[in-house]
């Protein structure tokens, strides 16, 4: 009797251990599955707000990535420099604490000097010329300089043609720049070019511009119409002069630390999404540029055209700046840029 009892006890003990073991394995399996299924999070921050074409482009990127990865890649979007300005977010990508940002190329010139060839005033006459250069061999050459700086460039989006706003006087001729305290991006070509035109340029991060205009620490700034509208600069500026003095691209950047840990399939999804959302964003940017001008006319800001003759004089005046930076950025690259443009214009 005692023996039978002993065996029964041992059997139930073994049964209990078996049950515990089976449930442990299955929870590991589900946990393992969970780990396998756990999405990779992409923190994507930009400097402009959600309704700007840059913000709409980022939302399109998010939609494409999450759909193509069946949720394995999750994009968290941050707008209006909530993660910092262009330079700060770019540094966060290099440090691996943020995965995506889409800055203007101009503030990157301190890090990758060759991008500066895109900042030459009056370089592009049309957005189509910009697309051809950026999506062609020169744009590719510039993207290839990014990985050594801990960055991967996937595509160019559009910031657009820039115009001057200020609170002092309309800009009809070069003389009207005289003494104007003008905010510029942190970009040596723009700073020197506006000095050459007679202005008094101050480099500043974008998110500080509205307050600086409002408190009159600066007289003016320069940006594409969509940005002037979406950041309500018309509330603190009296004049908008359509100088169209330079075209600025955005560049779609991914942290190399993050990129190198993705599978080839995941990398392809991000690349395709950045290019596809970029095409959508460029189209939206061009539509918005036209719409913004009509809407800005209703705000009361005084808008003036700048004649081609006066823009030619400005272009002539800043030639010494182009020569100086062609030497710094590489005369071969600059020569290639201008001859490419010659070919496009034939
Ligand atoms: C936004 C900036 C901005 C740029 C500037 O992140 O700084 O004036 O035109 O749009 O990239």
Give 167-189 pLDDT, tens digit per residue: 999 999 999 999 999 999 999 99
Nearest-angstrom CA–CA distance, 343 and 306: 27
319-329 helix and 188-196 helix, angle to the nearest 10 degrees: 160
Whole-number pLDDT of residue 38: 87
CB 147 within 8 A of CB 68: no
**Would the CB of 185 count as within 6 Å of ligand 1?**
yes
Residue 231 belongs to a domain: yes
Smallest CA separation from ligand 1 atom 3, residue = 206
CATH of the domain at 74: 3.40.190.170
- Residue 329 contacts residue 117 (beta carbons within 8 Å): yes
d(CA 114, CA 144): 11
- pLDDT value of position 14: 63
Evaluate whether residue 35 is within a structural domain: no
Does 6 reside within a domain? no
Enumerate residue ranges in the chain where pLDDT < 50: 1, 24-33, 35
Helix (H) / strand (E) containing 85? none
How far is residue 78 from each of residues 43, 92, 176, 275, 312, measured CA to CA in Å?
A: 8, 14, 38, 20, 40
Q: Which atom of ligand 1 is nearest to the CA of 222?
A: 8
Containing structural domain, residue 143: 40-345
| Cβ atoms of 185 and 224 closer than 8 Å | no
248 CA closest ligand 1 atom index: 9
In this prediction, residue 26 carries a pLDDT of 47
Given this model, what pLDDT does residue 32 score?
Answer: 45
Structure tokens at 18: 């078996």
pLDDT at position 31: 45
Q: Is residue 7 part of a domain?
A: no
Q: How many domains does the chain have?
A: 1
In a domain, 323, yes or no: yes
Residue 1 in any domain: the answer is: no
Say how many Å lie between the first and final Cα of the chain, rounded. 107
Position in ligand 1 atom list of the atom nearest CA 183: 8
| Å from CA of 138 to ligand 1 middle | 22
pLDDT digits 0-9 by tens, 51-73 = 999 999 999 999 999 999 999 99
CA–CA separation, 35 and 74 (whole Å): 15
Strands 302-305 and 200-203: unpaired
Residue of 109, 205, 223 with the most ligand 1 atoms within 8 Å of its CB, for mutation = 223
State the pLDDT at residue 29. 45
With respect to residue 9, please indicate whether it lies within any of the assigned structural domains.
no
**Position 321 in a domain:** yes
Whether ligand 1 lies within 6 angstroms of the CB of 48 is answered as yes
* CA 327 distance to own-chain centroid: 27
Task: Please tell me the distance from the alpha carbon of residue 74 to that of residue 70, in angstroms, as a whole number.
Answer: 9
Residue 64 near ligand 1, beta carbon < 6 Å:
no
328: helix, strand or coil: helix
Ligand 1 atom index nearest CA of 103: 11
């Amino acid at each position: 009797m005692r023996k039978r009892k002993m065996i029964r006890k041992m059997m139930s003990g073994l049964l209990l251990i078996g049950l515990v073991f089976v449930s442990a394995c299955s929870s590991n399996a589900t946990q393992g599955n969970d780990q396998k299924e756990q999405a990779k999070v992409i923190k994507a921050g930009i400097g402009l707000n959600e309704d700007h074409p840059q913000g709409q482009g980022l939302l399109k990127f998010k939609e494409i990535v999450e759909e193509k990865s069946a949720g394995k890649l999750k994009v968290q979007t941050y707008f209006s420099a909530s993660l910092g300005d262009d330079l700060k977010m770019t540094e966060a990508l290099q440090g691996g604490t943020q995965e995506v940002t889409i800055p203007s190329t101009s503030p990157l010139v301190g890090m990758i000097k060759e991008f500066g060839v895109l900042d030459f005033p009056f370089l592009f006459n049309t957005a189509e010329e910009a697309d051809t250069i950026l999506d062609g061999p020169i744009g590719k050459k510039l993207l290839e300089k990014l990985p050594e700086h801990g960055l991967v460039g996937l595509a160019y989006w559009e910031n657009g043609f820039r115009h001057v706003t200020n609170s002092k006087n309309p800009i009809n001729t070069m003389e009207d720049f005289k003494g104007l305290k003008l905010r510029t991006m942190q970009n040596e070509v723009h700073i020197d070019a506006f000095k050459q035109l007679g202005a008094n340029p101050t480099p500043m991060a974008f998110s500080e511009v509205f307050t600086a205009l409002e408190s009159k620490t600066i007289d003016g700034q320069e940006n594409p119409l969509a940005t002037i509208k979406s950041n309500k600069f018309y509330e603190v500026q009296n004049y908008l002069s359509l100088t169209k003095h330079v075209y600025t691209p955005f560049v779609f950047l991914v942290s190399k630390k993050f990129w190198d840990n993705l599978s080839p399939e995941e990398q392809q999804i991000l690349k395709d999404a950045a290019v596809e959302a970029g095409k959508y964003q460029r189209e939206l940017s061009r539509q918005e540029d036209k719409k913004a001008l009509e809407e800005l006319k209703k705000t009361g800001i005084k808008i003036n055209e700048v004649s081609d003759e006066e823009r030619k004089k400005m272009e002539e005046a800043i030639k010494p700046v182009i020569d100086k930076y062609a030497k710094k950025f590489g005369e071969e690259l600059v020569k290639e840029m201008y001859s490419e443009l010659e070919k496009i214009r034939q």
